[in-house]
Structure 1
């Protein structure tokens, strides 16, 4: 049994027809049928039976299909890993949370394409729990994310930390420079549901002070949360950088949270449970350099914990435009 035979078997199973599989593989149907027969003879079992609509997997075929896919996936991963050795990075999947994607995606992609010509990049968005899962399963090579609670299975290098803000519609603007956490708890909020890391963090801060958040809506989509905020239905808690465009255009205003300030740590994470291609180290170094360049740039300043000046400046502009 060879990997080529397994690949042909998987294609036939997915096509449900010898003719469709042969067409997709640019093979003749007799040639493909012969390869299938050789595999069945070697295994001593029929893998398909025919009905009026095509080929149906037998019990033996069903059992083989899952294993064949896993074997082919492992072989592909091994080949990719070896191809990286000494030849730099050719493919990379990088995970980002939605709140950082708007700030980092473009400069990060531009910098990496410049430093690694020919690289195939795939950037995926996800909340921390989703990115942790993708790293664990090998579906992402590296992730820029909020520090996970259970970090034993990851290598997590600190990148920066960001101060969170209460964000609400510009129509609800208030002449304040900050909002204390107790006052925040009295505002109607739209937040993601547990176990989202932001929800857990805010509830921990509230519980430590014997307070309770007024959560009116649970929404797990970042873009939908922003729409709730813009409409004035409810406020939320977000890093200012994630809504920088809306702040600048006076659709949303943001108040840094105080007493206590609420911050989140952002890390660059890789899995400790999967082998790491040698070229990935160079990619990680390039990602770190670019993230630091963005956070050090004036336009990236809201990412930093103490850089609330940009938010205050936007709020002052909003006050001026409102006649306040």
Structure 2
């Protein structure tokens, strides 16, 4: 990006709108949640939540107004509005969208193909009745009669019995955290998935103020997640147990890569074994289709 474009961006009123609404949202959440106890004593529990809700609604209204009226397609531009997205930006966008959608997909029940080829014993295939054998039978005959066969079975497309992605404490009596799934990546997977998706989609638009607006949810995840952890460590509005705090992180993958979860290679392999594969595959496919569709460009739109 050229120095001229940076100067134009910094002087652009659209930039102030792009960052201002999100900054208001972050600050009001930080201030109100940090002073939660004091405000509840003054306003009461219901009054605090009404006040919190009113300010958050106002902040998000500002965010939405900024995007629709001030930021979308606003100059300065990196390429023509409606033009094709550069290949490098598309590749980076795909990686980020696949990661964000992949993280989001892991919060849903495990998907599975609704039909499967399973082993069925002779008794099951005969309606549960034992095979009738007249007279003495050889071991080969008995083995043939009871040998399992293969049959197609219809099953629910959601595997509600899969519990590998749940975090808890182990049963060793030590109280150590036994983490699984998304909790290996971050303590706030929903926030970070939203932020990463925003950043991925920011790369698909030519407007620099619009890119800033779309990237701001990443700041919400980083700052908001860190502040939530800080409050929970102090017992404000929740709990973050030290044994869980020591092996997880706010920033995605940091606890896995810095050795907090033990050997890095083993931590990555353990996580790979817990991933809901079909969920992740569908998310990756959706990310690819979205980026390819947006990357082709479309008819020129207005430019502010």
Higher strand share: 1
Flag the structure with higher helix content.
2
User: What TM-score bracket applies, with the shorter chain setting the length?
Assistant: under 0.3
> Which structure exhibits the higher relative contact order, with contacts defined as CA atoms closer than 8 Å and separated by 6 or more residues?
2
Q: TM-score, normalised by structure 2?
A: 0.23
Question: With structure 1 as the length reference, what TM-score do the two structures score?
Answer: 0.22
